[in-house]
Amino acid sequence: MEYYNYIKSLHLIFIITWFAGLFYIPRLFVYHIEAAARQEPERSILTTQLKLMTKRLWYIITWPSAILASIFAFWMLYLMPAWVEQDWMQVKLGFVVLLYAYHFKSHLIFKEMQHDVIKWTSNQMRLWNEGATLILFSVIFLVIVRDAINWIYGVLGIFLLAAMLMLGIKIYKRIRSKSPDA
C-alpha cells in the first residue's frame, strides 16, 4: 500500500496524456478532411504531413497512454478490490468501456484516413471530437463526488453540457461560413 499513491499518480498522468491524444486526433482528422478538398499540390503536401502527425500522435502518445492508464488502473483495483463493489466504480468502469469504444472507433477512422478514405465531413468530425469531452466530464464528476452525486442532476448536467457543446459547434459553423479563415 505504500506505493499506492505512486501508482495512482502514474494512472492520472497517463489518463491525461490519453485524453490529450483523444482530444487532438479528431482535430487532425478535421484538418485532413479539409486538406483533401484543396487543390494540388497543396492537398498532397498537407495530407502527407497530417498522416505523419496523426500516426505519431496515435502510436507514440495515445495508444501507449491508454494501455499504461489501464495497467495502473487494474493495479489499483488489485490493491483495493472492495472498490469494484461500489456503485460509483461500476459506473466509472462503464464509462471506461465507453471510452475504449470511442478509442477503437477513432482507431478505425485513423486507419481509413491513413488510406485517404474519408467518410466524415469536417462538421461531423467536430461533433465526434466532443465524445471524449463528455466522457471526461462524466468520469471526473463521478470520481470526485462519488456517492454524494444526485444521479438525476448528474445525468441532466451531462445532457446540458452536450447541448452547450452542440450550440457552440453551430455558432462556430456560422462564424466559419462567414469567414473561411476562422
Local confidence band at 181 (pLDDT 50, 70, 90 cut-offs):
low
CB 74 within 8 A of CB 7: no
Local confidence band at 87 (pLDDT 50, 70, 90 cut-offs):
confident
Nearest alpha-carbon partner for 30 in 135, 106, 134: 106
8 is in an annotated binding site: no
Contacts of 155 (CB under 8 A, 6+ apart): none
Whole-prediction pTM:
0.83
The helix (run of H) or strand (run of E) holding residue 30 is helix 4-36
pLDDT digits (tens, 9 = 90+) for 109-145: 999 999 999 999 998 998 899 889 888 988 887 887 7
CB 42 within 8 A of CB 32: no
11 is in an annotated binding site: yes
Local confidence band at 171 (pLDDT 50, 70, 90 cut-offs):
confident
Give the residue numbers spanning the domain of 126.
4-178
pLDDT digits (tens, 9 = 90+) for 88-109: 888 889 999 999 999 999 999 9
Q: CA–CA separation, 94 vs 41, rounded Å?
A: 46
Gyration radius of the chain over CA positions: 19
Task: Report how many domains make up the chain.
Answer: 1
